[in-house]
């Protein structure tokens, strides 16, 4: 058997090195593609989570607003009922008229600087 020339051995080693580099390059491309895919998947998951949180916040604020409006309406209805109860068409008594007259004269005196 004849020994291969040294250059032939070197060529084989060089070809093996090239093949190894090409395999590594291919593996790197596949890893980059996988990383891009994973990044896109994670980004979409984050966007979906953000949309879900925003929707929960919107529903919560709507519930708070509705509760506030119900409470406001209840309080306004109570105030309206109180106002209606106070809105009595009862005739003034003589004592009431005298009291009002004294109050009007006192205010007039204060406004004009006159005596009471």
Q: Is the pLDDT of residue 14 over 60?
A: yes
Structure tokens at 26: 């291919």
Give per-residue pLDDT as tens, 41-53. 999 999 999 999 9
Q: Are 114 and 104 in contact (CB under 8 A)?
A: no
Average pLDDT over residues 86-101: 87
pTM: 0.48
Q: Are 88 and 98 in contact (CB under 8 A)?
A: no
User: In Å, how far are 41, 50, 97, 98 from 46, measured between CA atoms?
Assistant: 9, 6, 75, 77
């Amino acid at each position: 058997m004849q020994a291969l020339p040294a250059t032939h051995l070197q060529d084989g080693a060089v070809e093996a090195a090239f093949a190894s580099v090409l395999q590594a390059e291919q593996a790197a491309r596949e890893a980059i593609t996988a990383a891009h895919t994973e990044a896109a998947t994670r980004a979409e998951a984050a966007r979906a989570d953000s949309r879900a949180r925003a929707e929960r916040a919107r529903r919560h604020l709507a519930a708070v607003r509705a509760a506030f409006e119900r409470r406001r309406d209840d309080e306004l209805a109570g105030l309206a009922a109180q106002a209606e109860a106070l809105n009595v068409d009862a005739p003034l008594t003589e004592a009431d008229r005298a009291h009002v007259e004294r109050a009007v004269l006192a205010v007039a005196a204060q406004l004009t600087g006159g005596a009471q």
